[in-house]
Amino acid sequence: MAIPIRNTVFDKIKDAGSLTDVELYKSLTKDGFTMAEAKFNKILLDLEILGLIKVSWITKDERRIEVFVEKVEVDEVDEQNKEMMEKDYEASFPGFEK
């Protein structure tokens, strides 16, 4: 079963962290993946819509492509509540000693 080109493109971006569209296209061509510019742009658009990458313009003809990293915030109150609920649950069993 062949790996879809979209996955290959995403893997290249993920490995590089961030790169330009020109560098990405050259890298794909070097690895034997040749495609029309319209298909290349469609793949980038699909990955951006899926929330996997972020594309921004550097110059008129060049775009910067980077992996989109979503920061997960940890709520301390929720963590404390979760710990207390776990302790209460464990303490509710008869004969439980800690």
pLDDT of 2 reads: 66
pLDDT of 17 reads: 87
SS3 39: helix
Architecture of domain 5-67 in CATH?
Orthogonal Bundle (1.10)
SS3 65: strand
pLDDT of 1 reads: 57
What lies within 8 Å, CB to CB, of 65 at 6+ separation is 13, 18, 19, 20, 21, 24, 44, 53, 54, 55
SS3 96: coil
pLDDT of 68 reads: 84
**pLDDT, one tens digit for every residue, the chain (98 residues):** 567 899 999 999 999 988 999 999 999 999 999 999 999 999 999 999 999 999 999 999 999 999 987 777 778 888 888 888 888 887 787 765 65
